[in-house]
Amino acid sequence: MSYMMKLMAVACAVLVMMACASTSFISTWKDPTVPPIGKAKGRTVVAVVMAEDEYMRHEAEDQLVASLNKRGAKGVASYTLLPPGVRDEALAKAAFEKAGASGVVVIRPIAADTQTVATPVYYGRPYYGGYWGGYWGYGWGYPYGGVAVSTDTIVTCEVLVYALGQNKLIWAGTSKTTNPSNVKSFISDLVVSAVWAMDKDKVF
């Protein structure tokens, strides 16, 4: 393979990675004094997604419930326990106690930011070949110099696990998702990454 073909292959790979959303956990914490809430099979754990968008809430809670069930817990979506828009703590507590919940997994979006990314330009491109009929028009159209500038969207979420018996936080994590393409894929990527991070720390 020639140098030029190798360079093009690398460039294509970078573009594919930039086009795909990716979720990673930038920090996690676990309380070493509290045993895993899912240690006993069948314990009820409520999935709570604190999002105003009901579609996002339902989709994420359903996926989280499915993951909890695979780990031996009895997952319950909070939207099945409370009507839409209910924020009253006393009502929520009563509903969770009635369901026999021993734990809660919470996902809450906390920020959505944009980030400008600059990457070096390959100077072998055609519009660098000649000043007239090439670079002149390109240069004034993109006056950033020898870099290609793109903007990434960064969505940050916090994921929390509470043991309700002790009313205590036992695990926490902060996730970062880059360039989510749509709500459905964002939720799927987030839930998979969140469960992987919890599994890594042996929460369940």
Q: pLDDT tens-digit profile of 97-111? A: 999 999 999 999 888
**Cα separations (Å) of 98 from 81, 92, 101?**
9, 10, 8
Spatial neighbors of 71 by CB under 8 A, at least 6 apart, are 38, 195, 199, 204
Please choose, from the candidates 44, 177, 170, the residue with its C-alpha nearest in 3D space to the C-alpha of residue 103.
44
Bridge partner list, 33: none
In CATH terms, 20-116+150-200 corresponds, of 3.90.550, 1.20.120, 3.40.50, 3.30.750, to: 3.40.50
CB of 105 within 8 A of CB of 191?
no
- pTM of structure: 0.72
Tens digit of each residue's pLDDT (9 = 90 or more) over 129-162: 677 777 777 667 655 555 666 787 888 999 999 9
Mean pLDDT over residues 102-122, rounded? 80
Residue 11 above 50 pLDDT?
Answer: no
